[in-house]
Chains A and B, each alone.
Chain A
Amino acid sequence: MELPPYATLGQKIWHYTFYFICALIFLFLITPILIIAPLSFNAEPYFSFTEGMMSLDPEAYSLRWYEDILINGMADPMQPRSWSLFREWLWMGLSPVHTMPEGFFTDAWENAQWVRAMKNSFFIGFFATLIATALGTLAAIGLSRSEMPYRGAIMSLLISPLIVPLVITAAGMFYFYSQVGLSQTYTGVILAHAALGTPFVIITVTATLVGFDKSLVRAGASMGAGPARTFWKIQMPLILPGVVSGGLFAFITSFDEVVAVLFLAGPEHRTIPRQMYSGIREQISPTILAVATILVIISILLLVTMELLRRRGERLRGIRS
C-alpha cells in the first residue's frame, strides 16, 4: 500500500481518501464497544454522557453500577446501608477493621441476580463445553480420516446447528424437551448449548488436523504403542491447541447464547445474556453497561488467548508464517 514516488495528484488524493474511508469503517466497528466503558461509570441513571462527565467532573463519575451488580436482588432490605458499607470495605483496602455485616456475602452469593446469572452461565457453559469438546474432537478425528464413509453428508449434518436459525432450533428443542421432561431444567439448556457448540469444535479441530503428519502416529505404532497410547501421547498433544480453541469457541457460544435459554430455561436458570435481555426489555439501567464492560474485558482476554494458541499450534506443527 506504499504510494510510489511518481504518483499523480489524483492518485494521492484517492490514496488518502481510501485511508480515510477505512478509518471511518474501523471507527464504526470499534466505537460502540469502547463507548460503553466510560458510560458505565455514569453517576446518573442514564445511558448517555452527562454534562458533568463531558467536563471531566469527578463527581459525575461513580462505581455505583458495578456495586449494583453485586447487590441487586439481595434479600437485605437495607440496601443503601450495605451499599455504603460495602463501598467502605472495598476502598479501605479490604481491611479487617471494616468488616461487612454478617451474612452479607452469603446473601450476595445466594440472592443477587447478576451473581446468580454468572453462576448459571459458568455452570451451563462448563458442561456444554465438556460435552461439545469431547464428542466434537472424536468426530473431527474420524472425519479427517480419508476412509471415512459418507463424509460430506455427515459433515454438513454436524455443521448444521451453526446454520439453522436459532429460533427454529430453540422452538424445536422447547417442543421436544417439554415432552420428555427436560424443559426448564439445567440438563435441557446444557444439551442445547452442547449441540450448538459442536460445529465450532469440529471446524477448529479439523483445521488443525489438516497439517497433522500421520507418519508420526505410524512411527509410534511401529514401535509397539497401541491406538490409545498413540492418541494420547502423539496426536493429542499436537492437536491440543485446536481442541482448546474449539472448546473456547464452544464456551463462548454457550456463554453468549440467549435464544435457547429464552425458550428452555426457567426463572432460576437465568444466565448473564438472559438477564441482560430482560434488562434491556424491562428496566434499562446502566448496570447492564457495567456488566457489558466486564464482558468486553473477558472477550479481550479470550482474543489474546486465542491468538497465543494459534501461534503455538502453528509452531508445534512446524508451519511458519
Chain B
Amino acid sequence: MTDATATHGPDGLLLASDGTPLKTKLRQSMKASRRRAFGLVLPLLLFVLASFVIPIIMLLWTGVSNDTYASNMPRSAPLLRAWDGASQPTEEMAEAMVLDLIDARKAKTIGKVASRVNREQSGTRSLYTKSARRAAKMEAPFIDALVKADKDWADPETWRATKIAATSLTPAYYAAALDYKYTADGEFVEQSEERQIHVKLFWKTIWVSGAVMLFCLLLGYPVAYLLSHLPAKKANLLMILVLLPFWTSLLVRTTAWIAMLQSQGVLNDIFVWIGITGDEQRFSLIYNLTGTLIAMTHILLPFMILPIYSVMRAIPPSHVRAAKSLGATNWTAFWRVYFPATIPGIGAGGLLVFILSIGYYITPALVGGQDGQLISNFIAYHMQKSLNWSLAAALGGILLAIVLVLYWLYDRIVGIDNMKLG
C-alpha cells in the first residue's frame, strides 16, 4: 500500500503533506480561522469604540476630574493643594492668587474659574470677578490687598472652597450627585434638606420605571396569552396592532398622547360628553407624572408583549391539559403549570422595559411637566443649560452603573443572543 493519505514522522506523529506534524498544522489553521473571524468583527469594534465607548469614557472622566481651576490658575492651584486648609492663608498663596487673577482676566477665563469656585461656595462668583478687576493695581502685602478689595478673602471658608476647586481629581461631583458635600478637610457632609434632590430623583426614576414595567406586564400578559392561543391567521392579524405602534416614531406617539390627554383633548371631551366630569373640571392628564406614565407604558408595551408571546408560543398545550385531567381547576392549572413556564418571558420583557424606561428622556421632557421629570432630564439640563458637565457626568455615571448591572442580569438570565426584534 502506498503511503498517500498520511505519513508518519520519525517519532510516530502524523505528518501533513508538507512534512509538519498534523497537530501543529491543525493548530495553525484554527488560529488562522480565529483571526479571520476576528478580522470580520474588528472594523465594527473599532468604530463602536471610537464613536461610542471612548466618548462615554471621556465624559465619565470629567465626573471625577475637573481641571477648570488648575489649568487657568496655574500659580495658586499647587499652593492651595499643598495648604492644609486649617492654618491662615500665607502671603505666598495670596501673591500667586493675585497674579493668577490678573492673567485669568486677561485671558478672559475668569468667568469660568469664578463659576467653578462658586459651585463649591455660592457667592464667590462676584468675589472673584470683582477681585480680578482690581488685581492689577494691588501691591504687597497681597493678603491685605485682597481683603481690602473684598472682606470675604479674610474668611478661611473662601480659601477652603478654592482649595477644593483647585484639586482636579475629586470625588466632589459624585458626592454632589448623591447629595453629599465634599469639604476641604476631605469629609463628606450631608447636604441640607432642601438641597437633597438627586437621590430623591434617582428613587423616583426607579419607581417610575418599576411602575411602567408593572403596567406593561398587566396589559401585555393577557394580550400575549390571547395572541399565542389564537389560530395563526387571526394572531398575525392582531399582531399588526402590536407591531404598528412598535414601528411608529416615538415623537408621533408622544404627539398622539398630547392630542388624547390634554385638557381640551379627545379623552377629556369623551369624559365630559358621558358626564363623568363637568366642562369646568376637566382632568389634568398630561404635563405631569400621569401623562409620563401613560405615554411611557404605551411606548414600551410592545417590548413586553413580544418576548412573553414568543415564550408562550413554545409551551405545549398538553401541559395544561394534563394538569386538568389530573383534577386541577382552571385556575390551579394556570397558576401552577402555565404561569411558571412563562416566567422567562416575563423576566426578559420586564428587564428590557425597565432598562429602557430608566434612561427615558424625550417623553418625560415633552409630556412630563414639572413633576414628570426623570434623572435623564436632569443630566440633559446640566449638560445644556447649567453647563455643569462634571455633575452631569457623575449623575450619568451612577445611572450607567445601574443600567449596566441590569444589562449584565439580562445577559445572565435571557442572553443577548436571544434578543429579538419584531
Contact = CB atoms under 8 A, between A and B. Distances in A.
A303 B243 CA distance: 8
B396 A156 contact: no
Chain B: interface secondary structure?
Answer: helix
A203 B266 contact: no
A138 interface: yes
Interface in B357-402: 358-362, 366, 376, 379-380, 383-384, 389, 392-393, 396, 399-400
A136 B41 CA distance: 8
Interface in A270-289: 273, 276-277, 280-281, 284, 288-289
A175 B59 contact: yes
Contacts of B399: 165, 168
A317 interface: no
B416 interface: yes
B24 interface: no
Contacts of A145: 33, 37, 40
Contacts of A58: none
Contacts, number: 263
B48 interface: yes
A259 B362 contact: yes
Contacts of A139: 40-41, 43-45
B199 interface: no
A168 B362 contact: no
Interface stretch (A30-38, A60-68, A85-93, A103-111): A30-38
Contacts of A276: 251-252, 255
A6 interface: no
Interface in B222-273: 222-223, 226, 229-230, 232, 238, 240-245, 247-260, 262, 264-266, 269
Interface in A7-64: 11, 18-19, 21-22, 25-26, 28-33, 35-36, 39, 46-49
B336 to A, nearest CB: 18
B33 to A, nearest CB: 5
A152 B41 CA distance: 13
Interface in A284-301: 284, 288-289, 292, 295-296, 299-300
A169 B298 CA distance: 24
B31 to A, nearest CB: 9
A321 B236 CA distance: 12
B26 to A, nearest CB: 12
Given A164-B56, A164-B359, A299-B244, A155 B416 contact: yes
Interface in B256-307: 256-260, 262, 264-266, 269, 298, 301
Contacts of B262: 47-48
B379 A168 contact: yes
A184 to B, nearest CB: 13
B51 interface: yes
24 contacts: A22-B223, A26-B241, A29-B242, A32-B257, A48-B265, A138-B40, A138-B41, A139-B41, A145-B33, A148-B38, A149-B37, A164-B359, A165-B358, A165-B376, A168-B56, A171-B392, A172-B58, A255-B249, A259-B361, A273-B251, A276-B251, A277-B362, A277-B366, A280-B254
Interface of B: 30, 33-34, 36-41, 43-45, 47-48, 51-60, 62, 219, 222-223, 226, 229-230, 232, 238, 240-245, 247-260, 262, 264-266, 269, 298, 301, 330, 355, 358-362, 366, 376, 379-380, 383-384, 389, 392-393, 396, 399-400, 403, 407, 411, 416-417, 419-422
The 10 closest A-B pairs by CB, nearest first: A165-B359, A142-B40, A176-B55, A32-B256, A172-B56, A139-B44, A172-B55, A142-B41, A172-B59, A135-B44
